[in-house]
Structure 1
Amino acid sequence: MALMFIGIDPNTGDHESPTVWVDLTRRELVMQGWEPTPEVEAECSATVIPGHAVGIPDGEAVIRIPARMIHMVREACDALEGAPDVP
């Protein structure tokens, strides 16, 4: 795995660190964020999306990252879009 660090929440303190990376080998965004509030998780779990099971499957998680990190998510998307496919 070749993780490329993109950025960390600029308002990060000693105990919080929403972070964005790019996995160049798997061609995926990797994000660390805050756990959702129970209300947000319940709403995500109950959302009906055509062709998709209701709920959050095992092995998946809902995370929250602050809007001030949007530019990092864009940078990560650009990095993946411009990276060559790795076999």
Structure 2
Amino acid sequence: MALRLLGKDPESQDGDSPTLYYDEERDTYLFQSWKVTDPGRLAQLSLPDHETVIEFPKRMMRFFPEVTGGE
């Protein structure tokens, strides 16, 4: 698997998360971020058992190539 690091949250207190990766083989993104565990928020979603939900700050959107013009 060829993962390419796209960016880490510059405001992260410990410098580890959230982090965005691009999987070049699958043409998908992977986010390392905060797992949503709040039952009230999860109840508002149609979430299959084989999926999970993560949360990331809007400021991380700048690391998506589609937002930066492919850079």
> TM-score w.r.t. structure 1 length?
0.65
Name the structure where helix makes up a greater proportion of residues: 1
| Structure 2 unaligned residues grouped into runs of 5+ | none
Runs of 4+ in 1 over 4 A off after TM superposition: none
Which structure is higher in RCO with an 8 Å CA cutoff and minimum separation 6?
1
Give identity over the alignment, percent: 39
Task: Report deviation, 1:14.
Answer: 2.0
Task: Report deviation, 1:9.
Answer: 0.8
Is this contact kept in 1: 2:3–2:21, CA < 8 A?
yes
Instruction: Classify 1:43/1:12 alpha carbon distance in 2 versus 1 (closer, same or farther; 3 Å).
Output: same
Q: Please provide the CA RMSD for this pair.
A: 2.1
| Structure 1 unaligned residues grouped into runs of 5+ | 46-55, 83-87
Secondary structure of the residue aligned to 1:25 is coil
Q: CA separation in 2, counterparts of 1:21 and 1:58?
A: 24
1:16-73 CA-to-partner distances (Å, cap 9, x unmatched) read: 511100000111111111122512212113xxxxxxxxxx22331111000111111x
Name the structure where strand makes up a greater proportion of residues: 2
Q: CA separation in 1, counterparts of 2:7 and 2:30?
A: 11
> TM-score w.r.t. structure 2 length?
0.77
Q: CA separation in 1, counterparts of 2:56 and 2:35?
A: 9
